[in-house]
Amino acid sequence: MSNNIKEIQEEIVDEFALFDDWMQRYEHMIELGKSLPLIDEKYKTEDNLIMGCQSKVWVHAEMKNEKLIFTADSDAIITKGIIAVLIRSFSNQHPKDIIDADTQFIDEIGLKEHLSPTRANGLVSMIKQLKMYAVAYQTQLN
Amino acid sequence: MKIAAEKNIFDVESIRKDFPILSRKVNGYPLVYFDNAATSQTPQQVIDAISDYYTGYNANIHRGVHTLSQEATDAYEGARQKVQQHFNAEKSHEIIFTSGTTHAINLVAHGFGSLLSKGDEILVSALEHHSNIVPWQMLCERTGAVMKVIPMNDNGMLQMDQFEELLSEKTKLVFLNHVSNALGTINPVREIIQKAHTKGAAVLLDGAQAAPHIKADVQELDVDFYVVSGHKMCGPTGVGILYGKEEWLEKLPPYQGGGEMIATVTFEKTTYAGLPHKFEAGTPNICGGIAFGAALDYLNNIGFEKIAAYEHELLEYATEKLLEIQDLRIYGISKEKTAVISFNIGEIHPYDIGTIVDKLGIAVRTGHHCAQPIMDYYKIPGTVRASFAFYNTKEEIDTFVEAVKKAKTMLS
């Protein structure tokens, strides 16, 4: 039984709490970006591109055993780290749980400044897109 | 003698004291503001002009007989004269207040709708900001005119031989920026204007990026239209200028209908006011216009020659320091350029660099700078753009270079 979203998010918050300053936290996020489950090149299409980001972010989702598996990529390293953190908490979860999940943990790991909807990095757009996938697949399950 | 000599030295430290924002901190670090090409900072003298207007004589202009209205009208029309003198326009009614460069371009593009017909050609440079592309594309859609592009080369300069080939009797209008916002290239506008005129084509120069650094003389340039934004020249946002030769402004129809722009109105027919009011429908940005005048006073008080010389020093210093960083590439290496450096490092995304240096208190622009055609030319997603103003220092450049090095280490 895999951990639920809340548990994974707490785990991420604990990890980031080990670092004293923003630079180490960013370095950690960049490291997490390297472990991002990469999207298949064939899914790097315009349709899978998230709008509202200054860098390019592609996300793909597929359902396995009623759970959503996300893969993604970005041409910017920090953005790749951000999407990696999100996907780590959302991937391999039931769509309903993804829809209900909150993303307060982003604030707690010191990325609060990225949460403003007007920021060019599009963190808000990423969260929205992941949840949209969950809504779409949830409808299939109903 | 000694005192006189010292007065000639560019005293950046005392200039910096005029800009309250420069003493603030960002993310715990002293602010280093290198995004001047996007908007410039505002000196206390301009802030005071805004405050004086609202505390002393806020009133609607041109129509009131009361004292406040007359004072506000005098100040606003006084600002128009300051603009006229600054750009050396022949007549003050050739100066139209707009909300900014984009508004000014749209006003002209709209007007040309009635002057162009199918098959006419308009020429645009490959170095344009989107705001100097899109209104003309819309114009072409409306009129059936054809837009042709003057190509650029690897150094970010226009290919003048191509320009001459494109130019013909069919060309009705040429529009380009005086200085490229993405690369800082100063375009050979004199030559372009002179050649365009031999074919009877009008020329519109987007001076948004030039005006903060170069004092353009519209009569000497013989340019037909020159447009600028106040907020890039130490003025407030929401105000800009369209300069147009009287003969051209007379030919263009009004852009918007409303108060101020009319002479007489009946339900059968309206006659329009003369210049400049024909193009200034509604209550204008009175305070903005007055404050823009104050900004011009401020800049002229320092002197554009001094500003240009000092900024050039900053540009050379920053270029040299940045190029010491391995794998750093600068885009736009024309000899004639303003204090703008657009660059990338290796395969690092510009957004990543911008994010890290922001954490260190430094403001630069990242992205395509609203000039996607230039980015497409270089096949890059964007650049990091550092743009300097006369209130920046070499010490700030040192701080910036160290921050970029730090970012490079983190991101490689």
Sign of CA dihedral A117, A119, A120, A123: negative
pLDDT band, very low/low/confident/very high, at B196 (cuts 50, 70, 90): very high
pLDDT per position as a tens digit, B317-372: 999 999 999 999 999 888 889 999 999 999 999 999 999 999 999 999 998 877 78
The Cα diameter of chain B in Å comes to: 72
Query: Mind listing the domains of chain B with CATH numbers?
Result: 6-42+303-411 (3.90.1150.10), 48-300 (3.40.640.10)
Chain mean pLDDT for chain A:
88
Fold of A5-141: Sufe protein. Chain: A (3.90.1010)
Residue ranges per structural domain of chain A? 5-141
pLDDT band, very low/low/confident/very high, at A136 (cuts 50, 70, 90): very high
Other CB atoms within a 10 A radius of the CB of residue B135 amount to 20
Chain mean pLDDT for chain B:
93
Contacts of A22 in chain B (CB under 8 A): 27, 359
Q: CB distance A76–B349 less than 8 Å?
A: yes
Mean local confidence (pLDDT), A105-129: 74
Q: CB distance A77–B349 less than 8 Å?
A: yes
* pLDDT score for B2: 46
Structure tokens at B350: 């510009």
Mean local confidence (pLDDT), B81-93: 97
**A78, A121, A126: best mutation site toward chain B, by most B Cβ within 10 Å?**
A78
**A77, A79, A113, A114: best mutation site toward chain B, by most B Cβ within 10 Å?**
A77
pLDDT per position as a tens digit, B354-367: 999 999 999 999 98
- Which 8-state DSSP code applies to residue B231? G
Q: State yes or no: is A53 an active-site residue.
A: yes
Contacts of B348 in chain A (CB under 8 A): 77
pLDDT band, very low/low/confident/very high, at B6 (cuts 50, 70, 90): very low
- Residues of B noted as catalytic: 370
pLDDT band, very low/low/confident/very high, at B181 (cuts 50, 70, 90): confident
The Cα–Cα gap between B192 and B223 comes to: 10
Q: CB distance B351–A76 less than 8 Å?
A: yes
Structure tokens at B109: 């593009």
- Could you give the 3-state DSSP secondary structure of residue B24? coil
* pLDDT score for A52: 66
The Cα–Cα gap between B383 and B351 comes to: 8
Q: State CA B403 to chain mean position distance.
A: 28
CA nearest to B101, candidates B231, B254, B253, B202: B231
Mean local confidence (pLDDT), B218-224: 98
* pLDDT score for B5: 46
Q: Name every residue in A having a CB less than 8 A away from some CB of B.
A: 22-23, 26-27, 30, 54-56, 75-79, 120-121
Contact A80, A74 (CB under 8 A): yes
Mean local confidence (pLDDT), B36-55: 98
**A26, A114, A116: best mutation site toward chain B, by most B Cβ within 10 Å?**
A26
Residue B300 pLDDT > 60: yes
Angle between helices B286-302 and B304-323 (to 10 degrees): 80
Mean local confidence (pLDDT), B298-320: 96
- Could you give the 3-state DSSP secondary structure of residue B239? coil
Contact A69, A61 (CB under 8 A): yes
Contact B346, B327 (CB under 8 A): yes
* pLDDT score for B132: 82
Mean local confidence (pLDDT), B276-299: 95
Closest Cβ–Cβ partner in A26, A27, A121 for B351: A121
Angle between helices A77-90 and B350-359 (to 10 degrees): 90
Give residue for tokens 């909150």.
A102
Q: CB distance A120–B349 less than 8 Å?
A: no
Contacts of A27 in chain B (CB under 8 A): 410
* pLDDT score for A115: 55
* pLDDT score for B67: 93
Structure tokens at B30: 């002293």
* pLDDT score for B349: 93
* pLDDT score for B381: 85
* pLDDT score for A142: 79
Residue partners of B219: CB distance under 8 A and separation at least 6: B88, B89, B90
Residue A83 pLDDT > 50: yes
Contacts of A55 in chain B (CB under 8 A): 349, 351-352, 381
To which H or E segment does residue B277 belong?
Answer: none
Closest Cβ–Cβ partner in A23, A27, A77 for B352: A77
**Comparison of pLDDT for A7 and B268, the residue scoring more:** A7
Contact A131, A37 (CB under 8 A): no
Q: pLDDT above 70 covers what percent of chain B? A: 98
Q: How far is B38 from chain A (nearest CA, A)?
A: 15
Task: Identify the active-site residue in A5, A53, A83, A123.
Answer: A53
* pLDDT score for A114: 62
Bridge partners of B171, per DSSP, are: B121
Q: CB distance B351–A78 less than 8 Å?
A: yes
**A34, A54, A114, A119: best mutation site toward chain B, by most B Cβ within 10 Å?**
A54
Contacts of B349 in chain A (CB under 8 A): 55, 75-77, 79
Q: State CA B224 to chain mean position distance.
A: 17
Interface of B with A in 353-372 (CB under 8 A): 355-356, 359, 366-367
Instruction: Tell me the DSSP string of B165-194.
Output: HH--TTEEEEEEESB-TTT-BBP-HHHHHH
* pLDDT score for A2: 59
CA nearest to B50, candidates B217, B334, B291, B302: B291
B92: exposed, middle or buried (Cβ count in 10 Å: 0-12, 13-18, 19+): middle
Contacts of A79 in chain B (CB under 8 A): 349, 351-352
Sign of CA dihedral B92, B96, B101, B106: negative
